[in-house]
Chains A and B, each alone.
Chain A
Amino acid sequence: AQTVTQSQPEMSVQEAETVTLSCTYDTSENNYYLFWYKQPPSRQMILVIRQEAYKQQNATENRFSVNFQKAAKSFSLKISDSQLGDTAMYFCAFMKSTETSGSRLTFGEGTQLTVNP
Chain B
Amino acid sequence: AAGVIQSPRHLIKEKRETATLKCYPIPRHDTVYWYQQGPGQDPQFLISFYEKMQSDKGSIPDRFSAQQFSDYHSELNMSSLELGDSALYFCASSFRAFSTDTQYFGPGTRLTVL
B→A interface (CB under 8 Å): 30-31, 33, 35, 42-45, 48-51, 55-56, 58, 88, 90, 92, 94, 96, 99, 101-105, 107-108, 110
For residue B101, which residues in chain A have a CB less than 8 angstroms away from its CB? 33, 95, 97, 101, 103
**Closest Cβ–Cβ distance, residue B56 to chain A (whole Å):** 5
The one of A45, A102, A103 that contacts B105, using a Cβ cutoff of 8 Å = A45
Interface Cβ pair total, 8 Å cutoff: 69
Give every chain B residue within 8 A of A95 (Cβ-Cβ): 101, 103
Are A100 and B43 within 8 A (Cβ)?
no
Contacts of A75 in B (CB 8 A): none
- Binary CB contact string for chain A from 29 to 53 against chain B (1 if under 8 A, 0 otherwise): 0000101010000111111001000
Inter-chain CA distance A50–B104, complex, in Å, is 12
**Contact of A91 with B by CB under 8 A:** yes
Contact between A102 and B45, CB atoms less than 8 A apart: no
Count of A interface residues, CB-CB < 8 Å: 24
Min Cβ gap B59→A in Å is 10
